[in-house]
Amino acid sequence: MSSKLLNIDWHARARDVAIPRQAFIDGSYVDALSGATFDCISPVDGRVLGAVASCQVEDVDRAVVSARKAFDDGRWSQQSPAARKKVLMRFADLIRSHAEELALLETLDVGKPITHSLRVDIPAAARCIAWYAEAVDKLYDEIAPTGPGALAMITREPIGVVGAIVPWNFPLIMASWKLGPALAAGNSVVLKPSEKSPLTAIRVAALALEAGLPDGVLNVLPGFGDPAGKALALHADVDCIAFTGSTVTGKRMLEYAGQSNMKRVWLECGGKSPNIVMADCPDLDRAASAAASAIFFNQGEMCSAGSRLLVQESIRDELLDKVLAIARKLEPGDPLDPATTLGALVDDLQMRRVLGYIDSGRLEGAVVRTGGAQTRQETGGFYVQPTIFDRVSGNMKIAREEIFGPVLATLTFKDAAEAVRLGNDVIYGLAAAVWTRDITAAHRMARSLRAGMVYVNCYDADDITVPFGGFKQSGSGRDKSLHAFDKYTELKTTWVDLS
């Protein structure tokens, strides 16, 4: 850890930092028309950070009108890709130069360790915006091989007004996965951050404006799912909803699109990903360390968390002992202390949900090998110990449902076929991993696992160049990589008769 980071008094900064509170519509910060606000509570210590604008149906309408006008008059959509690239590169630079402020807001808002906000979240968000900016003036369209009598051009156009609805676990990263490709492609965006984590989204709107993004092209609406998110997803002048969040809410997005204008709906939803360790795993220490970070990084609040550890029977005790040893050293700490690696859960509700799953695991007969309780109650914040369950069977709730907290379910299997069957036996299909020395088995299992991302001898390998997203009820469409442009563009065929 750099000494600069260690020397910052984050508590002192937290006392002074300006809390962004207003919506950002048509290039200005404004209150909700109704004057409604909600309390933004820090899970670090349970204190109220500020009263944030709670946008209602009429605010959504104002933002969509502004975004539509900006799109239709071409102030952004008709700029050359090279010009858009310049603005977005400046936007990424401004995110980087405000990294300490943004990291502090992220940590105060969701309770993740300041070191992670500063080292992971904010740089990844900036890199994402910059990557799509860099890409957009390097994409070519197509001419179809129709023969000499015609010219059939296949071109991509921005889709129009994009409604982006995002969750709280990686607030700025999730927002930037939408903003990067949507803005680079020339769309206008109305972004609704989670009511649990509105701060960085509100703050970066001003940075986008400073970078040269024209008024109306990016609007940010803090507020609750219902009414703000619902009104956005039902709005007849929104062309596309790019959603990240739970599967339950994702299904609502499909209904809203059906009830309104059949807008495009792209869903990045939940997961219950299997991390499968075969007896011939090449390195059990590495597998154990990856298994621990797959479930404990970001307090387990990760859609792609390796929340089910599937171990071949003969190595169960050896592997589990190694994972337990790592987990027992991981105590939740003060998120504002740079030495902390495990922070708070996002709020009281999420903590109770996680504790409820721990109770249900016990009741169904699984065995808690470490953790299993709330901790740091004296802080007023919301902390849960890293928890590992053993003796879990595939029909238990903790083996089937997404917990979204630091709770690992360990199951065993006899052979590869059973591992794949168990791995696929949930409604989700986001990620999966296989640890084996046998390259043929690895490929066969990777093909059989119904997941958008399969890791072999690693977990959560990550790069902006590769698609992220799931099969089954983990969603549709992909964030990241050039494939993300598919979500934010319409394909047009223009046929010119040359005969």
Active site residues: 268, 303
Q: Alpha-carbon torsion 236, 242, 246, 248, what sign?
A: positive
Of 60 and 104, the one with the shorter C-beta distance to ligand NAD is 60
Query: In sequence order, what are the beta bridge partners of 191?
Result: 164, 220
Is position 476 an interface residue for ligand NAD (rule: CB under 6 A)? no
Number of residues that bind ligand NAD (CB under 6 A): 33
Closer CB to ligand NAD, residue 234 or residue 416? 234
How far apart are the C-alpha atoms of 246 and 473, rounded to whole Å?
10
In angstroms, the CA 216 to CA 214 distance is 6
Q: Does the protein bind ligand NAD through residue 54 (CB under 6 A)?
A: no
| Crossing angle (nearest 10°) for helices 99-110 and 171-184 | 130
Distances in Å between the Cα of 103 and the Cα atoms of 14, 53, 339, 377 are 11, 21, 15, 24
Question: Quick one: which of 59, 106, 195, 239 contacts ligand NAD (CB under 6 A)?
Answer: 195
484 lies in the binding site for ligand NAD (CB under 6 A): no
Give the pairing of strands 240-244 and 161-165.
parallel
Residues 6+ apart with CB under 8 A from 121: 103, 106, 112, 170, 171, 172, 173
- Between residues 77 and 194, which has the closer beta carbon with respect to ligand NAD? 194
Closer Cβ to ligand NAD, 355 or 430, answer by number: 430
Q: Distance (Å, rounded) from C-alpha 208 to C-alpha 251?
A: 31
Smallest distance from the beta carbon of 14 to ligand NAD, in angstroms? 23
Residue 305 CB, shortest distance to ligand NAD, in Å, is 8
230 binds ligand NAD (CB under 6 A): yes
Determine if 252 is a binding residue for ligand NAD (CB under 6 A). yes
Q: Is there a contact between 437 and 233 (Cβ–Cβ < 8 Å)?
A: no
- Determine the Cα–Cα distance for residues 158 and 160; give it in Å rounded to an integer: 6
Q: Please tell me whether residue 475 binds ligand NAD under the rule CB under 6 A.
A: yes
Distance, CA of 384 to CA of 377 (rounded, Å): 10
Shortest Cβ distance from residue 487 to ligand NAD (Å)? 13
169 vs 340 by CB, closer to ligand NAD: 169
Cα 121 from Cα 335, distance rounded (Å):
14
Query: Rule CB under 6 A: is residue 198 a binding residue for ligand NAD?
Result: no
Interaction between residue 246 and ligand NAD (CB under 6 A): yes
Least separation, in Å, of the C-beta of 328 and ligand NAD? 27
* Interface with ligand NAD (CB under 6 A), residue from 56, 188, 194, 410: 194
Closest by CA position to 454, among listed 437, 471, 479: 471
Nearer to ligand NAD, 246 or 341 (CB): 246
Angle at the Cα of 112 from the Cα atoms of 171 and 479, rounded to 5 degrees: 30
Q: How far is the CB of 233 from ligand NAD (least distance, A)?
A: 5
Element holding 91 (H helix, E strand): helix 81-97
Q: Residue 253: what residue type?
A: M
Q: Which stretch binds ligand NAD (CB under 6 A): 52-60, 113-121, 221-229, 366-374?
A: 221-229
191 binds ligand NAD (CB under 6 A): no
Rule CB under 6 A: say whether 229 interacts with ligand NAD. Answer: yes
Beta bridge mates, 153: 143, 494
Q: Is 163 a binder of ligand NAD (CB under 6 A)?
A: no
Contact between 312 and ligand NAD by CB under 6 A: the answer reads no
Residue 235 interacts with ligand NAD (CB under 6 A): yes or no: no
Kindly state whether residue 60 participates in binding ligand NAD, applying the rule CB under 6 A: no
Q: How far is CA 328 from CA 83, 322, 325, 386, in A?
A: 52, 10, 5, 8
Q: Report if residue 272 touches ligand NAD, rule: CB under 6 A.
A: no
Q: CB neighbours of 30 closer than 8 A, spacing ≥ 6?
A: 22, 23, 24, 53
Q: Does residue number 269 form part of the binding site for ligand NAD (CB under 6 A)?
A: yes
To the nearest whole angstrom, how small is the minimum distance from the Cβ of residue 230 to ligand NAD?
A: 4
Q: Does 487 bind ligand NAD (CB under 6 A)?
A: no
- The helix (run of H) or strand (run of E) holding residue 41 is strand 37-41
Q: Which stretch binds ligand NAD (CB under 6 A): 68-76, 135-143, 246-254, 331-339?
A: 246-254
Using the contact rule CB under 6 A, the part of the chain among 63-71, 85-93, 214-222, 225-233 near ligand NAD is 225-233
| Shortest Å distance, C-beta 95 to ligand NAD | 19
Which residue ranges make up the site for ligand NAD (CB under 6 A)?
165-169, 174, 192, 194-195, 224-226, 229-230, 233, 244-246, 249, 252, 268-271, 303, 402, 404, 430, 468, 470, 474-475, 479
